[in-house]
């Protein structure tokens, strides 16, 4: 692995001090900010995440704030998901599309109230698109990046740890809902959500004053739960079929291709700028789909570029993320496969950096 | 320095193979892509850049293409610089601002013709802003990221090397102009430009077919010029006062604050979406300015966060980039300083990661 040159442009977070003290070994860069990728090792972090509880600095999930009379209208212009039934205190996973239906981001929208939204973004400057749309359409809304840094608590013991710090009310928060809970006399938005399949919460930390005190309180209370610093885990997220924008999908892809058709209520999402293009896609169906790919043989190397998926010398797709799964004893991967070969158990070859491997296309991810 | 975890999301470039073979030691991430930062050492690369010639993979300067009847109108909406006198074959450095006059990027615009422009961007997803504006204002223009990867040849011997590969016509290209020159029977846009003060060219390489052949030809012809792989050099660019978006300026800053007021023809740049806000700024003048900062004492550490600039316990600015300059025998730095302390030779203190240092505010950069 190469070294990463630090600079102000690759922003530190309000928790960086804690992350460094916990022995972070490697980073990626996400939304112009440092995101830890390894603490002990990807494998050790993986086993611990699936059995214990971890605290993740996911400040890189930058917030975009929409505030004003046109906030709800703007939010609906951004996504083909029908937001009319969304209530205050609810979170929605929302594909964001451009006028051609191409994915610009796949954030979680947090509805504080009709005139006040947070959008918790994946890795692209979605702020620029939203500001451009708001300006061009002359909407009465302020769009900005507020100083909010999400902190995730993930893993099977996360509810117990969170209850120790925020009280038993956390237990009553349902999946993709949030409540305002107090720590140190300050209210925090606490949602049951997170980028793992192990259960957990995300705490939206405003400013930096409470950041390290909260981090320290979680680690203090977490001693008896065997807490450790962690981060989104490559193996676990592939097993669970959690997609990564920029890896598994780009602005070339429609939500339908990414298996996100269920979030496209294109007939009802009136005002979505990509509606016309997506109505066409919904009519014809996608010609390629995100699939789980089971790659045979020993541990594959790091998937640092798209690996072609081949059948009889013809390219039928590409793998975008891959890792060896100790629990499933195979190489788990995410790929985009053409309709000619997307059926369950179709045999294909994946051209890794070390040469071709036999693989199977799977309709379901591992968990 | 921490390690950087590779993934497809941090895109490789069409020259990565050459960069790796040349022994790259560290990267940064820029426009979701790998940008080399060190080959031999920052100091060794610096001396070599100032005396010989280097080939830089600056594919991270992604292009945004504007094409269509409204392309020129859209380009003028993006920037306060008056583009009316710009001719085909010319490059302009253009601050890009939002509706409040905040900087979104500081790219170089390349005018191929009135209906066809390339914008060679700094580190932000400017594509999203331009697409949003084009959509909201219903402009008749296509906006996209074409597959174009700039390759820079920089250093005092760059003209000789370029003439060996592209012929003597390169010598006639004037600063910030371009010509179409042939290599391997293919025409390339070649501009006299680049992110150093040592002189040089940028070649806009379309697709990947000609990328490594061109890289190899430059290194083959460059043997007699002592060519080496290089990259934008932290020390050299600070000495020369070349700003870095995301380090030295953000969307909080106006062009005037960044010393780019000379590129703001706000009275004439009719249609610029930030015009109203910038007319106000032009009237009142900025309250803080980018300045060279001369930091005394031994080599300062890596400036990985904003360092406060203090006077009598009061914050009057921040340093955003810093490095020890062997040629000037001092720590050269870029800072933003309030008007109360921006005069030449004002004494201040800079709070580095290792504690406070005496420093001087300078009106001029080192070269």
* CATH 2.40.30.110-classified regions of chain B: 287-367
Percent of chain A with pLDDT over 70: 100
> Mind telling me how many Å the CA of A138 is from chain B's nearest CA?
8
Which residue(s) pair with A108 in the sheet? A93, A120
Spatial distance between the Cα atoms of A176 and A90, rounded to a whole number of angstroms: 6
Give the phi and the psi of residue A350 in degrees, each rounded to 5.
-110, 125
Across the interface, whether the CB atoms of A123 and B28 are under 8 A apart is answered no
The C-alpha atoms of residue A213 and residue A242 are separated, in whole angstroms, by: 31
So what's the ipTM on this one? Answer: 0.95
**Predicted pLDDT of residue A147:** 93
pLDDT digits (tens, 9 = 90+) for A328-348: 999 999 999 999 999 999 999
Q: Give the chain B residue nearest A33 (alpha carbons).
A: B29
Three-state DSSP state, A29: strand
* Strand partners of residue A166: none
Of the candidates A285, A306, A266, the residue with the CA atom closest to the CA atom of residue A97: A266
Q: Do A4 and B8 touch (CB under 8 A)?
A: no
Supply B337's token pair. Answer: 């300083």
Q: What's the CA gap between B260 and B256, in Å, rounded?
A: 5
CB neighbours of B30 closer than 8 A, spacing ≥ 6?
A: B60, B123
Residue ranges of chain B with pLDDT lower than 50? none
Q: How far apart are CA A313 and CA A224, in angstroms?
A: 55
> B166 to chain A, minimum CA–CA distance in Å?
32
CATH 3.30.1360.120 positions along chain B are 16-61+147-238
Question: What's the pLDDT at A270?
Answer: 81
Residue A289: pLDDT band (50, 70, 90) is very high
d(CA B153, CA B163): 11
Q: What is the pLDDT of residue B268?
A: 80
pLDDT band, residue A286 (cuts 50/70/90): very high
Give CA angle at A194 (A192, A196), nearest 5°: 125
Instruction: Let me know if B72 is exposed, middle or buried by CB neighbors in 10 A (0-12, 13-18, 19+).
Output: buried
Question: Chain B residue with minimal CA distance to A30?
Answer: B32
Query: SS3 of A172, please?
Result: helix
pLDDT category of residue A266 using cuts at 50, 70 and 90 = confident
Find out whether A140 and A68 touch, Cβ atoms under 8 Å. Answer: yes
* Residue that has been written with the tokens 């490594």 in this structure: B212
**Tens digits of residue pLDDT in A123-147:** 999 999 999 999 999 999 999 999 9
Cα–Cα distances in Å, from A168 out to A225, B108, B263? 16, 56, 58
Count CB neighbours of B172 within 10 A: 9
User: Coil, helix or strand for A279?
Assistant: helix
Task: Identify the pLDDT of residue B7.
Answer: 98
Residue B108 to residue B83: CA distance in whole angstroms: 12
Say yes or no for a CB contact (<8 Å) between A3 and B25: yes
For A242, what's the count of Cα atoms within 13 Å in the CB-facing half-sphere? Answer: 17
Correct CATH for B287-367 of 2.40.30.110, 1.10.3720.10, 3.30.43.10, 2.40.50.100 = 2.40.30.110
Using alpha carbons, select from B123, B133, B124, B13 the residue that is nearest to residue B66.
B133
Distance from CA of B307 to the nearest CA of A (A): 10
For residue A290, CA distances in Å to A19, A284, B80 come to 33, 17, 43
Shortest alpha-carbon distance between residue B174 and chain A (Å): 32
pLDDT tier, A267 (very low <50, low <70, confident <90, very high otherwise): confident
Among A1, A4, A99, A119, the residue to mutate for chain B (most B Cβ within 10 A): A4
pLDDT of residue A269: 76
**Listed residue (A194, A191, A155) closest to A174, CA to CA:** A191
Phi then psi for residue A145, to 5 deg, are -100, 100
pLDDT for B61 equals 97
Distance from CA of A88 to the nearest CA of B (A): 28
Report chain A residues whose CB lies below 8 A from the CB of B133. 132, 135-136
Chain A residue numbers touching B129 (CB-CB < 8 A): 128-129, 131-132
A contacts of B125 (beta carbons < 8 Å): 124-125, 128
Which residue of chain A has the CA closest to B144? A251
Residue of B6, B8, B353 for testing the chain A interface, max A β-carbons within 10 Å: B8
Return the residue matching tokens 């060279």: B292
Confidence category of residue A194, pLDDT binned at 50, 70, 90 = very high
Tokens of B303: 């400036």
Write the CATH number of the domain with boundaries A63-144. 3.30.70.1400
User: At A49, phi and psi to the nearest 5?
Assistant: -60, -35
Give the A:B interface size as CB pairs under 8 Å.
Answer: 173
Dihedral sign from CA coordinates of A274, A85, A144, A184: negative
What would the 3-class secondary structure string for chain B be?
CCEECCCCCCECCCCHHHHHHCCCCEEEEECCEEEEEECCCHHHHHHHHHHCCEEEECCCCCEEEEECCCHHHHHHHHCCCCCCCCCCCEEEECCEECCCCCEEECCEEEEEECCEEEEECCCCCHHHHHHHHHHHCCCCCEEECCCEEEEEEECCCHHHHHHHHHCHHHHHCCECEEEEEEECCEEEEEEECCCCCCCEEEEEEECCCCHHHHHHHHHHHHHHHCCEEECCCHHHHHHCCCCCECCCECCCCCCCCCCCHHHCCCCCCCCCCCHHHHHHHHHHCCCEEEEEEEECCCCCCCCCCCEEEEECCEEEEEEEEEEEECCCCEEEEEEEEEHHHCCCCEEEEEEECCEEEEEEEECCCCC
Query: DSSP secondary-structure letter at A245?
Result: B
Nearest to B78 by CA among A99, A135, A32, A101: A135
Contact list, A6 vs chain B (CB under 8 Å) = 1-2, 302, 304
Give the distance, in angstroms, between the CA of residue B13 and the centroid of all CA atoms in the same chain: 18
Dist. CA A95–CA A241, nearest whole Å: 16
- The CATH 3.30.70.1400 domain(s) of chain B lie at 63-144
Distance of CA A79 to the CA centre of its chain: 16
| A73, two tokens | 């209208």
pLDDT at A305: 97
User: Which among B124, B162, B102 is positioned nearest to B29, based on CA atoms?
Assistant: B124
Residue that is written with structure tokens 């601050």 in the block:
B95
pTM: 0.96
| Phi, psi torsion values for A255, nearest 5 degrees | -60, -35
Task: Say yes or no for a CB contact (<8 Å) between A10 and B26.
Answer: no
Q: Quote the minimal CA–CA distance from A355 to chain B in Å.
A: 17
The CATH code of domain B16-61+147-238 reads 3.30.1360.120
């Amino acid at each position: 692995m190469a070294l990463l040159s630090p600079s102000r442009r690759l922003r530190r977070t309000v928790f960086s001090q804690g992350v460094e003290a916990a022995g972070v070994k490697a980073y990626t860069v996400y939304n112009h900010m440092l995101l830890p990728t390894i603490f002990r090792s990807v494998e050790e972090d993986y086993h611990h995440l699936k059995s214990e509880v971890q605290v993740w600095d996911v400040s890189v999930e930058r917030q975009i704030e929409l505030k004003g009379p046109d906030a709800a209208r703007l939010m609906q212009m951004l996504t083909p998901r029908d937001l009319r039934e969304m209530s205050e205190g609810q979170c929605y996973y929302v594909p964001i599309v451009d006028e051609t239906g191409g994915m610009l981001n796949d954030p979680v929208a947090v509805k504080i109230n009709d005139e006040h939204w947070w959008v918790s973004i994946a890795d692209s400057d979605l702020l620029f698109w939203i500001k451009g749309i708001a300006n061009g359409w002359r909407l009465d809304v302020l769009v900005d990046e507020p100083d909010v840094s999400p902190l995730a608590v993930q893993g099977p013991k996360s509810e117990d740890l969170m209850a120790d710090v925020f009280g038993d009310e956390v237990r009553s928060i349902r999946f993709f809902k949030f409540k305002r809970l107090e720590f140190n006399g300050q209210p925090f938005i606490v949602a049951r959500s997170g980028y793992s399949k192990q259960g957990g919460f995300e705490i939206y930390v405003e400013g930096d004053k409470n950041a390290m005190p909260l981090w320290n309180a979680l680690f203090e209370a977490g001693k008896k739960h065997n807490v450790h610093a962690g981060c989104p885990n490559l193996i676990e997220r592939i097993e669970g079929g959690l997609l990564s924008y920029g890896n598994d999908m780009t602005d070339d892809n429609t939500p339908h291709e990414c298996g996100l058709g269920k979030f496209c209520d294109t007939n009802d999402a009136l005002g979505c700028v990509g509606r016309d293009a997506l109505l066409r896609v919904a009519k014809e169906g996608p010609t390629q789909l995100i699939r789980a790919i089971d790659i045979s043989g020993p541990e594959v190397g790091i998937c640092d570029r798209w690996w072609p998926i081949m059948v009889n010398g013809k390219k039928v797709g590409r793998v975008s993320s891959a890792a060896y799964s100790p629990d499933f004893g195979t190489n788990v991967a995410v790929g985009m496969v053409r309709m000619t070969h997307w059926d369950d158990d179709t045999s294909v070859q994946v051209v890794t950096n070390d040469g071709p491997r036999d693989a199977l296309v799977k309709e379901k991810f591992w968990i």
